[in-house]
Amino acid sequence: MRRPTPTPAADGRVEPAILPLPDPVSPAGVMLAQMRQFDPSFDPQHFLNGAEAAFRMIVSAFAAGDRTVLRPLLTDDTYRSFEAAIAAREAAGETHRSEIKRLENLLIEHAALMGSHAAITLRIVSDQVAETLDRDGRPVAGTDAVTEITDIWTFDRDLSQSDPIWRLSAARSG
């Protein structure tokens, strides 16, 4: 399913697109309802819009090597992995460029609740330009052409805590 495009309201504001949610009777839909029972402020639609914003911020910050932006958006283990990749890139004199051209799809694939700990796994399909350049500006990975990339990202949050931030706890290509 293709991601809906936000449309301008009559007053010119752009409202976030309504993103598809899992069927309420599916395993993911049931878990989302349980999360809402645990934390009445939890809104799956708001979560998806926030996850889209976090995806864009994390991709950009990782490419730029911006640890300050990344730190509050990632769990400790995930931050260590991202930081190690950034440090290795810097040590090799490489730079990374990543530009999200379009977000094709953002779907909740799985949701889990273990006590008050919630985890939501998303399938994110985007059109991106992503390439790594050596110190002389020659490509060593990726391409400067727009490529469709599928990512599987998991965000975690302790619903018993007042902190509303969902942190990226796992990321892989799908």
Asked if the structure places residue 107 within a domain, the reply is yes
CATH code (residue 81): 3.10.450.240
pLDDT beneath 50, residues of the chain? 1-15
Residue 16: predicted pLDDT:
53
Is residue 65 one of the residues assigned to a domain? yes
Does 12 fall in a domain?
no
Please, are residues 45 and 18 in contact by the beta-carbon 8 Å criterion? yes
Beta-carbon contacts of residue 14 (< 8 Å; ≥ 6 apart) = 6, 7, 8
Q: Is residue 2 part of a domain?
A: no
Name residue 17's amino acid: A
Residue 105 lies in a domain: yes
Rounded CA-CA distance 149/126 in Å is: 5
What local confidence, expressed as pLDDT, does residue 1 receive? Answer: 46
Residue 21 lies in a domain: no
pLDDT at 154: 98
64 lies in a domain?
Answer: yes
CA 24/CA 26 separation, integer angstroms: 6
| Predicted local distance difference test score (pLDDT) of residue 54 | 96
Task: Specify the pLDDT at position 14.
Answer: 41
Q: What is the pLDDT of residue 119?
A: 98
In angstroms, what CA-CA distances link 164 with 4, 147, 161?
A: 25, 33, 8
Residue 93 lies in a domain: yes
Q: Which of 133, 72, 126, 67 is nearest to 100 (CA)?
A: 126
**pLDDT confidence of residue 2:** 46
**What is the number of structural domains in the chain?**
1
Residue ranges making up the domain that contains 70 = 27-173
pLDDT in tens, 9-57: 444 444 456 788 999 999 999 999 999 999 999 999 999 999 999 999 9
Q: Return phi, psi of residue 156, to 5°.
A: -120, 155
Q: Please count the other Cβ atoms lying within 10 Å of the Cβ belonging to residue 55.
A: 22
pLDDT, mean over the chain = 89
